[in-house]
Structure 1
Amino acid sequence: MTAIDVTDRKQLTKAVKSLAKSCAVMKAAHDHCGVPEWRARPGNYDGLARIIAYQQLSTKAAGTIWGRVEVVLGKVTPASVLAADIDSLRACGLSRPKIAHIRSIAEAVQSGTLNLRRVAKASDEAAQAELVAVKGVGPWTADVYLMFCLGRWDVFPHADIGLSEAYRMITSERKRHPPKKFLKTGERWRPYRGVAAHMLWSYINQVREEQRGGA
């Protein structure tokens, strides 16, 4: 299991510099953005549910929706989600599929089918397997939970369009790599693939901000 203290900037900086030294793509990302902030989230049901809620939305829009959810539920727990009226969650801005997913995860946690403490202690592979066994949790969600909530720095969500688009932009390739090919591409960044993902996210977010005139 490979994990870091995500609040330790020295460890993160060391990993970033190692990647930048060994890979031209990572050097370009580092030169443009420096050392990224690690996207740390709570390592519990709240953190997993939040990842579901944020999928396919801008950070700003998702944050607004999640803020409403927290107001409605108070503390986001499996019990509070299962006790909540579905219409009240819809009114917060959550889609029906996302509500179904966070409820499915809540049921799995309550029944013991999904044990997030066990997941936190497991290897990356074992943790991913336990997470994706739950309806509503796909490989991308599992990978992001391991990175954001557990601080695993060698997990790579290879199906993430933002990551493959950032790579395409840096390399000036005509098309994004399909997920299977991008997974192979990411092998060169072991054992810091999660750090590489944060560097690519940081790059594309900054470039898009510059394109909007925010730089």
Structure 2
Amino acid sequence: MRIETDEDLSAMLAVLAAQCPVMGRLHAERGIPPLRRRPAGFEGLVHVVVFQQISTLAAQAIWSRTLSVLGAVTPERLAAASDEDYRACGQSRPKTRTLRAVAAAVLDGTLDLEALPAMEAEAAHAALTRVKGIGPWTADVYLLTCLGHGDAWPAGDIALQAAVQDALGLAARPDAGTMIAVAERWRPRRAAAARLLWAHYAALKGRAAIPATTA
């Protein structure tokens, strides 16, 4: 299953709403969340890495500086960039290491980004997380926002955890393991559930319905 269009998302949410009372209530309250897809490929993956673990506003500023300093977000350009280039972009040392590792993996064929869309979510997730520096959150968000996998589920996302806590009336924010168990009821449409839960979190916080940048 893929979420390529607003119609795809709407159809998946309709099924979830019919099957799960929690999804039905959230769907009635929040409607259809915005799709907000990004193109798949190297630049899309770099974008996810840059936006990890910092606020959206900070990530947007760093992304703009990255485009300005590097000129093009390609494996060749990131592999050739100096430490000074990365500092000028505003990248931290850990993210610099990750971006270099991603560029190297693509250049040497260890990571075949063109093959990922044809893989099942679990296989694509495993291929991404084999690259040093790419963790489960980065892989899941890339699958969800760039590849449109219908069953991607960023279990470690803090905003998603907070939304699940509120929606299910849990006493504490669930950890990643609990999130995986909770979401079994929403297979194979967990990505649609995630988008609706992000919209719920955004409404609770009075913000636009966008994925969190924390992991």
Contact 2:40–2:146 (Cα < 8 Å) also in 1 = yes
- For residue 138 of structure 1, report the CA deviation from its aligned partner: 1.2
SS at match of 2:40: coil
TM-score in terms of structure 2 length: 0.90
Contact 2:2–2:8 (Cα < 8 Å) also in 1 = no
Q: Which residue is equivalent to 2:72? A: 75
Measure the CA separation in 2 of the matches of 1:74 and 1:92.
Answer: 11
- For residue 152 of structure 1, report the CA deviation from its aligned partner: 0.4
Q: Which residue is equivalent to 2:211? A: none
- CA spacing shift, 1:161–1:125, aligned 2, 3 Å: same
Q: Does 2:81 match 1:84?
A: yes
SS at match of 2:149: coil
Measure the CA separation in 2 of the matches of 1:136 and 1:42.
Answer: 21
Contact 2:51–2:59 (Cα < 8 Å) also in 1 = yes
Q: Which residue is equivalent to 1:23? A: 20
Q: For the aligned residues, what is the CA RMSD? A: 1.5
One-letter code aligned to 2:6 = R
Q: Which residue is equivalent to 2:57? A: 60
Q: Residues 154-169 of structure 1: matches in 2 within 5 Å? A: 154-169=151-166
SS at match of 1:117: coil
Residue in structure 2 matching 1:94, options 66, 91, 94: 91
Q: Which residue is equivalent to 1:137? A: 134
Q: Does 2:191 match 1:189?
A: no
Residue in structure 1 matching 2:39, options 42, 59, 76: 42
Residue in structure 2 matching 1:207, options 195, 200, 204: 204
SS at match of 1:158: coil
Measure the CA separation in 2 of the matches of 1:169 and 1:179.
Answer: 16
Residue in structure 2 matching 1:172, options 152, 160, 169: 169
Measure the CA separation in 2 of the matches of 1:122 and 1:17.
Answer: 25
Moved more, 20-29 or 180-189: 20-29
Residue in structure 1 matching 2:104, options 103, 107, 120: 107
Contact 1:25–1:167 (Cα < 8 Å) also in 2 = no
Contact 2:150–2:191 (Cα < 8 Å) also in 1 = yes
One-letter code aligned to 2:63 = W
Q: Identity over aligned residues, as a percent?
A: 41
Contact 1:162–1:204 (Cα < 8 Å) also in 2 = yes
- For residue 27 of structure 1, report the CA deviation from its aligned partner: 2.5
SS at match of 1:61: helix
- For residue 181 of structure 1, report the CA deviation from its aligned partner: 1.6
- CA spacing shift, 1:93–1:29, aligned 2, 3 Å: farther
The runs of 5 or more residues in structure 2 that have no matched partner are 208-215
Measure the CA separation in 1 of the matches of 2:64 and 2:196.
Answer: 27
- For residue 137 of structure 1, report the CA deviation from its aligned partner: 1.0
One-letter code aligned to 1:16 = L
Moved more, 88-97 or 110-119: 88-97
One-letter code aligned to 1:110 = L
Measure the CA separation in 1 of the matches of 2:87 and 2:26.
Answer: 38
Contact 1:28–1:170 (Cα < 8 Å) also in 2 = no
